[in-house]
């Protein structure tokens, strides 16, 4: 099915003086089932840059569209990436292998098809970090560079400079995204849209039966809930994607395309990771609303496949998603402060904590960690707070004592229930 929405194109490998910059031993050994010593072989570097392709590989660049900054951007696609094929490992897991920075494709715009070492290194580190933090994500297996340089305007301010090129080996169970369906609906390719949606169900949502008349509504619901589960993970770990266009939204609820991302340090709901996002559309605190809007565009893409009554059903599903998203994020933060169940007043408890963190500049990660390191009775002790630098900063807020009383009372009530 990938060939209906892609173009066959051969990678343009980097030449000479190839250097293995870094690799993920976990991805290579546990996903691709390669021996760890393979990183010492020249042919491994040649594989990573697209010069030596696996037997049976048929490289393609995927075509998709997308809404960027809330506006329809038309046809996009893999302008500098090549999907080499699918690998089924010994666990029966299917992984699609992709090279990024491996040359121009028919979907390239004004650029040269190359990627720079700076951004590929960031993606390599970030995707693997997200995986081990428990955030659903694409994976990065290896990164190769050489002496070739490309011209880039890093800050989009007219100050161009030469940067070293690199190619990244990326892995995902599927590279389809919201924009894969949007482009077909927008261009009136309804027959292909139906084929693709059925293919996605068959390959990735096998609990949905292809004979089910409501299968596309079920597909939408599954994709939406996986995506909102992902957003809750992002919010709980202070991860800001930075460029939540619909072409960067995975249909499997994976973190896709690490461009201007960032993990917040001192908590700030207005934190913007993207220097090009002058209006702060993709700020940390706005991510849930933006993703819900993106899900609405996915719903629009699926509408041509639905009857009038099914479209009403779809609209009802869409209306439930805002509540689901808020509940999932609340559940995530309650777990971070040691609470297992949702009770009346918990939303305000979490909101007040985040407000105090933002106003005092308390560290996002350290605050939750240090709360977990203290017994409830120790949290009001000045001597104990001196040892917990982020909580010490948080305690300077005038509402700290009031919040702490509410929090300890809440802990005691829940603990009492589980002691009965």
Residues annotated catalytic, as ranges:
247
Q: What are residue 55's phi and psi, to 5 degrees?
A: -60, 130
Token pair of 236 as six digits: 């709980």
Tell me how far apart the alpha carbons of residues 218 and 213 are, in angstroms, rounded to a whole number: 10
Name which of 182, 193, 81, 88 is nearest 140 in CA terms.
81
CA distance 391 to 400: 10
Q: What is the CB neighbour count within 10 angstroms for residue 167? A: 32
What would the two tokens of residue 121 be?
């290194």
Q: To the nearest 10°, the Cα dihedral for 131, 134, 137, 138?
A: 30
**245 bridge partner residues:** none
* Residue 211, CB-side half-sphere exposure with 13 Å CA sphere: 0
Cα 87 from Cα 290, distance rounded (Å): 33
- H or E segment to which residue 144 belongs: strand 139-152
């Amino acid at each position: 099915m990938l060939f209906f929405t892609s173009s066959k194109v051969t990678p343009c490998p980097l030449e000479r003086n190839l250097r293995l910059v870094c690799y993920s031993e976990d991805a290579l050994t546990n996903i691709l089932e390669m021996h760890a010593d393979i990183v010492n072989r020249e042919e491994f570097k040649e594989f990573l840059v697209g010069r030596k392709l696996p037997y049976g590989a048929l490289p393609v660049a995927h075509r998709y569209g997308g809404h960027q900054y809330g506006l329809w951007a038309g046809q996009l696609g893999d302008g500098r990436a090549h999907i080499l094929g699918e690998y089924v490992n010994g666990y029966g897991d299917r992984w699609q292998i992709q090279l990024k920075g491996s040359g121009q494709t028919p979907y390239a715009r004004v650029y040269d098809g190359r990627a720079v070492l700076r951004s590929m290194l960031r993606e390599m580190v970030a995707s693997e970090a997200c995986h081990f933090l428990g955030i659903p994500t694409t994976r990065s297996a290896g990164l190769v560079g050489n002496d070739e340089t490309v011209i880039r305007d890093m800050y989009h301010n007219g100050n161009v400079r030469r940067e070293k090129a690199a190619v990244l080996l990326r892995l995902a169970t599927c590279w389809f995204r919201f924009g894969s369906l949007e482009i077909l609906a927008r261009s009136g390719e309804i027959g292909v849209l139906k084929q693709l949606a059925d293919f996605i169900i068959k390959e990735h949502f096998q609990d949905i039966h292809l004979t089910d008349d409501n299968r596309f509504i079920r597909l939408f619901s599954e994709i939406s809930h996986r995506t909102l589960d992902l957003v809750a993970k992002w919010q709980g770990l202070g991860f800001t994607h930075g460029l939540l266009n619909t072409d960067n939204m995975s249909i499997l609820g994976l973190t896709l395309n690490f461009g201007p991302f960032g993990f917040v340090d001192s908590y700030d709901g207005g934190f913007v990771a993207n220097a090009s996002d002058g209006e702060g559309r993709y700020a940390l605190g706005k991510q849930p609303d933006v993703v819900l809007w993106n899900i609405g565009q996915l719903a629009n893409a699926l509408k041509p496949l639905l009857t009038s009554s099914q479209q009403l059903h779809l609209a009802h599903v869409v209306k439930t998603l805002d509540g689901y998203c808020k509940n999932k994020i609340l559940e995530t933060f309650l777990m971070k402060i040691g609470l297992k169940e949702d009770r009346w007043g918990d939303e305000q408890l979490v909101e007040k904590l985040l407000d105090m963190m933002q106003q005092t500049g308390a560290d996002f990660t350290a605050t939750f960690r240090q709360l977990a390191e203290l017994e409830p009775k120790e949290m009001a002790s000045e001597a104990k707070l001196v040892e917990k630098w982020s909580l010490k900063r948080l305690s300077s807020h005038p509402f700290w004592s009031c919040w702490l009383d509410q929090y300890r009372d809440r802990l005691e009530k829940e603990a009492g229930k589980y002691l009965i």
